[in-house]
Structure 1
Amino acid sequence: MNKNPALSEKELRALLRANKQTLKAMTLPQALRLMAAFYQDARDYDVIQAEGDGLVVYEDITNRGGGTRFEIGIVRLFCLPHDQAATGPQPALRLRLCYKLDMGIVTELMAEDTWSYDCWSVPDMARLLESVEKEPAYRLLHDTIPAEVNINLEETTYQPAEKHPRPDAQQNWWGVWDQF
């Protein structure tokens, strides 16, 4: 029997402990490896068959009450079977790395276009990781310890029928209703 995606946060935290990692000292490459391993190895969630389990990596400038931060998020999206969540909230497990704005970020990254990459199968994950590793943000922040790292299981409002962002979509397209 497949597991409920609501268990994913607990399972990711267990993987973190098994790898003897802490969120406090996590770097971007470690975060990507952790989420990639979790995406590749934990495949027994109760989701729709075709593209029901995705991985998204994005960058954004955010302010969640603690000041403005440069954020890189790694999100595992779960599309629930139609009998469980027709068009309602879908679960997403997000590992968020937030960096204080410094001169490197301001001068090297703020002028760059924002980005997000997604994949909906394990074989496609290599393309996603390769794309992220080519980004200036990855190269600049590779060894930097973020100001804040957290893991959250969230209810999001991305539409399961719209699994790939439109060219004009914001970085975190998976978290808002698509307006048509």
Structure 2
Amino acid sequence: MNAEDTEKSFRKLLKESGKTLRALSPADLLFVVGDFWLSTTPEGLREENGDGLVAYFELTSRGKGIQYEFGVNRIMCFPPAPEQYSAWLPALKLRCSLGYKATAEIFQLKAPVSTFGCWDKTKSKDFFDSVTNSPQFQLIKSYTHFSSGVALSECDAPWGNPEHSTKGFEWAKT
């Protein structure tokens, strides 16, 4: 599979499983995207840190007022051109997200915004445990989302460590 085909493949997986994005709970979203990541390997990605997941909780404003978004993004990074150095390399981001109304409980969280990343499939259990045990996840698991989305888009990824020294995972979220 090409990285450019991940959105189409993910939508096909959802359809074949009888699930719709609109009907997914936060746990469903995390594990469906996680299973898709674990079971597929796009071609042409860089060997180290070329395919990873970034789960996030973020306050956003996407035209529907302020919402609390939970998303799981699959980041697919391409290798650098051998003849040139660039601090940022081309990548694709498959963004899968659920949007919730921003409630008073969300603003009462010690840290309503949070990000988790995993680029090693052998450490996926720790990643899933970290996300599901977070206070943000514990709060929204009983909420009903009012928006959902899946989109593949281009982005830039750092050359080395995916958790950039000054930008963290901000580059991978929005």
Q: Residue deviations 1:46-82, cap 9 Å, x none?
A: 2011221011111111101111011111011111122
Structure 2 CA distance for partners of 1:67 and 1:98, relative to 1, 3 Å: same
Partner residue in 1 for 2:132:
133
> What are structure 2's unaligned runs of at least 5 residues?
none
CA-CA distance at 1:175 after TM superposition: 5.3
- Matching residue's letter, 1:100: K
SS of 2:72's equivalent in the other structure is strand
Question: CA 1:101–1:144 in 2, change beyond 3 Å: closer, same or farther?
Answer: same
Counterpart in the other structure of 2:117: 118
SS of the residue 1:157 aligns to: strand
Asked if the contact 2:67/2:100 (under 8 Å) is kept, the reply is yes
Q: How far did 1:4 drift? A: 2.1
Pairwise CA distance, 1:160: 3.5
Equivalent in 29, 32, 42 of residue 40 of structure 2: 42
Using structure 1 for the length normalisation, give the TM-score: 0.84
Please list, as runs of the form range in 1=range in 2, the aligned pairs for 1:60-71 lying within 5 A after superposition.
Answer: 60-71=58-69
CA distance in 2, matches of 1:99, 1:10: 25
Equivalence for 1:29:
27
Normalised by the length of structure 2, the TM-score is 0.87
- Counterpart in 2 of 1:157? 156
Instruction: Give the total of aligned pairs.
Output: 171
Which has a greater percent of strand?
2
Map Cα deviations across residues 18-38 of structure 1 (whole Å, 9 max, x no partner): 221111121100001101100
Query: Which residue pairs with 1:52 in the alignment?
Result: 50
Contact 1:117 1:128 in 2 (8 A): yes
SS of the residue 1:123 aligns to = helix
Q: Is the 8 A contact 1:26 1:146 kept in 2?
A: no
- Runs of 4+, deviation exceeding 3 Å: 83-89, 168-171
Would you say 1:100 and 2:98 are equivalent positions?
Answer: no
What is residue 73 of structure 1 aligned with on the other side?
A: 71
In structure 2, distance between residues paired with 1:20 and 1:100? 27
Q: Is 1:11 matched up with 2:2? A: no
Query: Residue 74 of structure 1: SS of its match in structure 2?
Result: strand
Mark the runs of 5 or more structure 1 residues left unpaired by the alignment: none
RMSD after superposition: 2.3
One-letter amino acid of the counterpart of residue 120, structure 1: W
Residue 174 of structure 1 and its aligned partner are, at CA, apart by 2.4
